[in-house]
Structure 1
Amino acid sequence: MRAAVLVEFGAPLAVRDIPAPTAGGGEVVVEVLAAGVAPYAEDVFSGRRRYPLVPPVVPGIGGVGRVVHVGPDATRLRVGDLVWCDCTVRARDDALTPDITLQGWSARGEGGARLAEHLHDGAYAELMRVPTENVHPLPDAAGKDPARWSALALYVIPYGGLLAGGLEAGETLLVSGATGNLGSGAVALALAMGAGRVVAPGRNRAALALLADRFGSRVRPVELTGDESADRAAMAEAAGGPVDMVLDLLPPSAPSTAARTAAMTVREYGRVVLMGGVGMLGGPELALPYPWLMRNSVTVRGQWMYPRSANVGIIRLAASGALDLSGDRVRTFGLEDVNEAVAYAAAHPGPFDRTVLMPG
C-alpha cells in the first residue's frame, strides 16, 4: 500500500510503498478515506515540537474510513462499515490510569511509548490498523463528505474539555484561545451543547468578527490588549454576568499571563479546565493566587484529550446537526501531495480552516 512516511525529523514526508497492515485479535483494518492535517503538523515533523514519534513512522491523527477486516472480538462491526477512527489509544491492562498513545502522533510516558511501538503508524496511508474499541460507526451522511467529517479529530478535543468541566445548558463559558483552530471549535461546540453565552477573547480582529458573524449574539468577542486588569475587566463586561466556566486552549507560544487573566474571570464555585500548551516552550509557569482559589472555591482541572465515550457524543452532535460542519472551509489533498497539505495547513491555522488528506 501507499503511505506518507516521516523518515527523519526535518525531512519532507516520503510517499512510498510499505507492507499493508494486518489485524490481530482486538484490531480492525480500515481503508482511510480522509484524515485531517493539523496546522501545527509542520512543527511536529520538523522536530520543533519534540513529539516522541520514532521514525520511520506513518503519522496522522485519526480519520474517516471503511472497514476492510474485523477481528474475532468485534460483534457489531462489519466489513464495509463507514467508521470514525479515534487516535487516542489506551492500554487495556489498567482501567484506572491507563497508559495512552496518540496513534501516529504522540505518547505519554514510558508506558505510552511502549504502546506506540505496537500501534506505530497513523492515518496518512491507504490502510490503517486500529484497536477495535477505537472504531466508531458513522451515519451514512458522512460517506457523502468524509473530508468534512474528518474534522471530528479536532472537535472531539475541546468536547473532552467541556465534558470535564461539566458545561450545562444556559451557562456562560469563556474560551481562552477562541480565535485558534481548537478554540473556535470549542465555541461552536459550547453553543451546540446549549451554552447561553460564550465569551471569545483574542487579538485577531478578523477571527473575532468571523465568530460573531457565524454565531450571532450568543458569542461575545473581546479584543485583548495584553494589560491583565484591563483585559479581565473587558471579559467580565462581555459576559454580562457570572462566568461559570473557563476553557483554556491557548497554544504553546502564549504567555502564562494570558491564561491567568482568563482563568480569573470565573465566578465563585466556577470551573477552569486547562487543555492548551502554555509553558511547553519554557517561560514562567501558570501562577494562580492561593487565596483567590480557596476563598472562591474555584475548581481547576487539567484535561489531556478526552474519554472514549466522547467519540459517540461528538458523532451524535454532528449527525443531529447541532454541531454544524457545513460552515467549515475544507481544502483536500491527495496522498502524493502530502507535503503541500502540511504547508497549506500551517498557512491556514484560523477558525474553521480544515486541511484534509485523502489517501484513496
Structure 2
Amino acid sequence: MATPSRAPDPSPASAAAPMRLSVLGATGSVGGSTLDLVAREPERFHVVALTAATNAAALAAAARAVRAEVAVVADPAAYADLADRLAGTGIAAAAGPEAVVEAARRPTDMVVSAIVGAAGLAPSLAALSATRTLALANKETLVTAGVCFMAEAARRGVTVLPVDSEHNAIFQVLERHAEREVAEIVLTASGGPFRTLSTEAIAAATPAMALRHPNWSMGRKITIDSATLMNKGLELIEADHLFAVGPDRLSVLVHPQSVVHGMVRYTDGSILAELGSPDMRTPIGYCLAWPERRPTPVKPLDLAALGTLTFEAPDRGRFPCLALAEAAMRRGDGAPSVLNAANEIAVEAFLDGRIGFMGIPGLVERTLSWAEGAGMMREPASLGEALDLDAASRGRAAAFIG
C-alpha cells in the first residue's frame, strides 16, 4: 500500500525560521481557508507565491494581507488590474498559465495546490521540483495523471499530504505499515442536496438547486460534483493512487451529517474513523502543522448536541455518476482522465443551462464510450500525454453537446 509519501520526521517551522509557503488557487474556498489560518499566525509563515484564475481584486487583497512575494493571475487579461492594485507594495505581479507554473517552482517548504480542475495539473507537477511537502487539494491531478504524478513525487522524495477532508481523515487513521491488515477504506459522502429526491425530481433540478449544498461551502464546480456524487467517484480514484489498496478495498457510504469524514476497517474487525465539524480548516490545519497538531478556530464538535449519526448506501440508480467513476477506476489506464475531462465540460454546460442535470452522466458515459472505441484508453506516461488525452476528451464532449 503506497500511502502518501512521508518524510522522515521533519522538524516543524519555528518562529526564527517560518515556513515558506505558496498557495495555488488562493482565492477559492480551500485557498481562502488556508490564508485564514496563515493570517492568524503570521509569525509561522512566509508566503512566497499566491495564484488565482481570474480574480485580480481578490488575489491582490490576499497578497497584501499576507505580504506575499509574488501574485500571479492565470488570465493574462487581468494582469493590468493586478499590477495596478499591487503598485507600491513590493509584491511582484505576473500573469498567464506559464507564470502560474513558474510560481509553483519557487523554492518552498510547502505548496498548497488548490486550483480547481485540470488547470491544476501542470502547477502541481511543477511544485514537486521545488518543495519538500505538497498539500494536495486538486483532485484532478491524481485522477488525470495519478500514476506518473505519484511516481515523480516518490522519485523526488516529496511528501504528499491530502487536503480533501475524506482523504485527510484516512491519512490520519491509517496505521503505518499495516497494508495487509486493511480490509476496507470507506469514504463518506453527504449525499448532496438531492439525496432524498426522486429520479424525476433530480432530472428536473436547476443549477440554483444543485448549488445549495446542505453542509459545505465550496466552489461551484465541486458543489455540482457533490450533487451528482461524481465528487465521491473522483475521490475514490484519488484514494486508489494515494493509498494503493486496490478498488476492491475502497467504498463509499452516505453520511448526511458530514461528521465522520473517513473510516478504515481492519481485518480484525476494528474500525478507526476521523470525526470533526464540516470545516475545511481542520484538514488544512493538519497539513500545515504536520507531523504535529496545532489549534484551529474550528468550532468543536458537540456529539451530544448532534445526537444522531446516520449512514446509508449510495443509490447508483439515481446518481449514475458514481457508478461511472467506479467503473473508470476499475478500468484504469486512461479512463479516469476521460471521465474527468468529460465531467468538467458537462458541469460547465449544466451551469450555463445548455444541458439538464441528468445530461451530466449522459455526456460522461457517451465520451467514455467514444474514447474506448477510438483506442484512447492508455495510461498517460507523462504530463504531456495526460494533457493531450484531457484535451481530446474535452473536445469530443463539447462536440457532443453541440
Asked whether the two chains share a fold, i.e. TM above 0.5, the reply is no
What is the TM-score of this pair, normalised by structure 2? Answer: 0.30
Please state which structure has a larger fraction of its residues in helix: 2
Instruction: Between the two structures, name the one with larger relative contact order (CA 8 Å, sep ≥ 6).
Output: 1
Comparing both structures, which one devotes a greater share of its residues to strand? 1
